[in-house]
């Protein structure tokens, strides 16, 4: 693993790192904030998955999580959103290809060679973190924004025993039911929608996935709310099937990091309570 850069922040260390990924067959870059801690301590970890067009840098530079993580003693991990580099297939549009992996393991050529972000997030990167950083892998939570909110919901609901809590800002709650999701999943997974269910939070809940601590925050002025995000679909599925959901609607907030940064500390504290931090 290569250390790209480090900065002192809120008493801890904000770092950016790069490694050769066996899952994606590319170099992958990710950010980790390690708060101040006693030597030998093992700390809980909070994962953050970013949205369309983003990298690790968006939340690192605009998310305003470090003070809350330093206060609660939580390691904050922000992976990239997709593989990048020479030979990685791409589309000349923001919602497909590089920056738009939808956190799937693609099965369709040419995407299947490199677009294996499910394996990267669920298996490879956690193993690397456990080797390098002072993480307590028994205490993990996950969150994300937009496409990354979709990622956090689906990764969390597929691995309910691993994560103490799951939250999302403005998530795509049902890719099967929105244009972004339909375009991406058909491209990466083929046209058989039965193969998409593992990547749709509402379908995972319909198929039996349950988690005690699930939270979504959504702005009422989000320009993508009705066509792409469809928060009401998740609300209705959870109500019908008995899945607990803390849904917070915020008047006047949009899809941007102005919204995320406003409520980021609240999310960190919410996860901290469930992580025992």
pLDDT for position 223: 98
pLDDT for residue 85 is more than 90: yes
Identify the helix (H) or strand (E) that includes residue 143: strand 135-145
Average confidence score pLDDT of the chain: 97
What average pLDDT score do residues 46-52 get?
Answer: 98
Question: Cα separation of 26 and 140, whole Å?
Answer: 26
pLDDT category at 89 given cuts 50, 70, 90 is very high
Question: Residues 210-222: what's their mean pLDDT?
Answer: 98
pLDDT tens per residue, range 172-206: 999 999 999 999 999 999 999 999 999 999 999 99
Catalytic residues, which ones? 146, 222, 255
Q: What SS3 state is found at 141?
A: strand
Where residue 49 falls among pLDDT bands split at 50, 70, 90? very high
Mean pLDDT of 227-253: 98
Give the pLDDT confidence score for residue 277 in this predicted structure.
Answer: 87
Query: Count of CB atoms within 10 A of residue 193's CB?
Result: 14
pTM exceeding the 0.85 threshold for the entire prediction: yes
Model confidence pLDDT, tens digit, residues 54-81: 999 999 999 999 999 999 999 999 999 9
Contact 6, 27 (CB under 8 A): no
What mean pLDDT is predicted for residues 39-64? 97
> With pLDDT > 70 as the criterion, what percentage of the chain qualifies?
100
Is 2-275 in CATH node 1.10.357.10?
no
Question: Domain-by-domain residue ranges, the chain?
Answer: 2-275
Evaluate the CA torsion angle 80, 121, 268, 12 in order and state its sign: negative
């Amino acid at each position: 693993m290569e250390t790209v850069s480090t900065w002192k922040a809120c008493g801890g260390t904000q770092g950016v790192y790069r490694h050769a990924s066996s899952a994606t067959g590319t170099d992958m870059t990710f950010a980790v904030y390690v708060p101040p801690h006693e030597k030998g301590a093992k700390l809980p970890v909070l994962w953050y998955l970013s949205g369309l067009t983003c990298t690790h840098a968006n939340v690192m530079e605009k998310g305003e999580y470090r003070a809350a993580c330093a206060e609660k003693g939580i390691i904050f991990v922000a992976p990239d959103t997709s593989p990048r580099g020479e030979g990685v297939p791409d589309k000349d549009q923001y919602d497909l290809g590089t920056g738009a992996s939808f956190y799937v393991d693609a099965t369709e050529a040419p995407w299947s060679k490199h677009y294996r972000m499910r394996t990267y997030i669920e298996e490879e990167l956690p193993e690397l973190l456990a080797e390098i950083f002072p993480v307590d892998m028994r205490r993990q939570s996950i969150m994300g924004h937009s496409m990354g909110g979709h990622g956090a919901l689906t990764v969390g609901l597929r691995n309910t025993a691993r994560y103490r809590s799951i939250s999302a800002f403005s998530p795509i709650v049902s890719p099967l039911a929105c244009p972004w999701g339909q375009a991406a999943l058909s491209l990466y997974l083929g046209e058989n929608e039965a193969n998409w269910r593992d990547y749709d939070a509402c379908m995972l809940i319909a198929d039996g996935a349950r988690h005690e601590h699930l939270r979504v925050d959504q702005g009422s002025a989000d320009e993508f709310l009705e066509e792409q995000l469809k928060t009401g679909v998740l609300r209705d599925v959870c109500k019908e099937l008995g899945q607990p959901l803390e849904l917070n609607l915020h008047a006047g907030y949009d899809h941007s990091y102005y919204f995320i940064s406003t409520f980021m500390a609240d999310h960190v504290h919410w996860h901290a309570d469930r992580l025992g931090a």
